[in-house]
């Protein structure tokens, strides 16, 4: 089948190059292929899937190429929504950059990577599982766990010798056992947490739409941390990467602490008051400053 393509208008403060640099930070990523010019990913579109390749040949529009086929108008609209959430394209970054022009401490690192957007995880189940498997392990092992879950329970498509994978749907994992996930090297507690999330989402008690409808971030935190195995850090991470909450500040995150330690010129982990002082000028943009600080580590 022939490929089809369309263009997606871009906001002025957007750097596809910076987003791709973040996405290419690990060769262990199993859900997309990113290089210096493009990213290719299998995306769920309605009841089916579409393999899409994104490029930005100019500064004003993103080219979306559907590989190996075409999509209906409804599927195209779903793809557009996914991509806009993935790259946070509906966010006006000018207020964030205005702070960067006045803050002498963190401002320079933000200005250096101007146009970098929070690269999101629009799928709530994927975001929660990624946060859960990543708890208290190094990044390389977290990627291995994600790959094992994806290969065991997710869908896939092949093109030109490359297999592209889709993170499993909650319904697929809701029927798994703790022993099965333990066999993939998840700890028993992480296996229980993943299965609990899968069962809640498959049963309709938990969804991205439900969380987005809650009145404030505190309500989201209460909803998520009521799930066994989901703590404050996981909730804050999901608010940042999946729900588009710009105010999330994962104060206990090791990566954030390491980046702040370097920025502040410390020979020790920064204290919570020191971190809060660093973030004070960035009120309302805590998620974005966190993401930019993470970016300095790669």
H-run or E-run covering 156: strand 156-159
Q: Which of 85, 221, 245, 253 is catalytic?
A: 253
Q: Catalytic site residue 35?
A: no
The one-character DSSP state at 18 is: H
C-alpha 125, offset from chain centre: 11
DSSP 165: E
Contact 135, 234 (CB under 8 A): yes
Q: Which of 17, 40, 16 is nearest to 29 (CA)?
A: 40
Q: Which H or E run contains 51?
A: strand 48-55
Candidates 86, 124, 120; CA nearest to 202 is 124
SS3 of 234, please?
helix
Q: Which of 175, 171, 71, 168 is nearest to 123 (CA)?
A: 168
User: What is the set of active-site residues?
Assistant: 253
């Amino acid at each position: 089948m022939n490929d089809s393509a369309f263009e997606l208008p871009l906001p002025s403060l957007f750097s596809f190059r910076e987003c791709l640099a973040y996405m290419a930070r690990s060769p262990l990523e199993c859900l997309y292929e990113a290089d210096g010019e493009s990213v290719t990913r299998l995306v769920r579109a309605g009841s089916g899937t579409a393999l899409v390749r994104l490029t930005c040949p100019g500064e004003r529009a993103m080219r979306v190429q559907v590989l190996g086929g075409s999509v209906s108008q409804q599927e195209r609209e779903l793809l557009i929504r996914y991509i806009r959430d993935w790259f946070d394209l509906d966010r006006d970054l000018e207020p964030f950059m205005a702070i960067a022009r006045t803050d002498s401490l963190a401002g320079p690192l933000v200005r250096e990577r101007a146009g970098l957007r929070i690269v999101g995880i629009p799928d709530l189940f994927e975001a929660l599982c990624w946060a859960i498997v990543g708890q208290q392990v190094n990044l390389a092992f977290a990627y291995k766990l994600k790959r094992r879950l994806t290969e065991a329970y997710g869908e896939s498509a092949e093109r030109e010798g490359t297999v592209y994978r889709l993170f499993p749907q909650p319904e697929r994992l809701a029927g798994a056992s703790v022993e099965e996930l333990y066999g993939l090297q998840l700890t028993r507690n992480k296996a229980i947490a993943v299965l609990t999330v899968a069962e809640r989402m498959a049963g309709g008690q938990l969804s991205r739409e439900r969380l987005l409808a809650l009145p404030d971030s505190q309500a989201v935190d209460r909803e998520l941390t009521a799930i066994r195995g989901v703590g404050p850090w996981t909730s804050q991470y999901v608010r940042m990467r999946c729900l588009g909450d710009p105010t999330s500040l994962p104060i206990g995150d090791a990566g954030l602490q390491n980046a702040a330690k370097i920025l502040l010129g410390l020979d020790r982990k920064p204290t919570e008051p020191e971190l809060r002082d660093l973030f004070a000028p960035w009120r309302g943009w805590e998620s974005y400053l966190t993401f930019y600080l993470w970016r300095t580590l790669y």
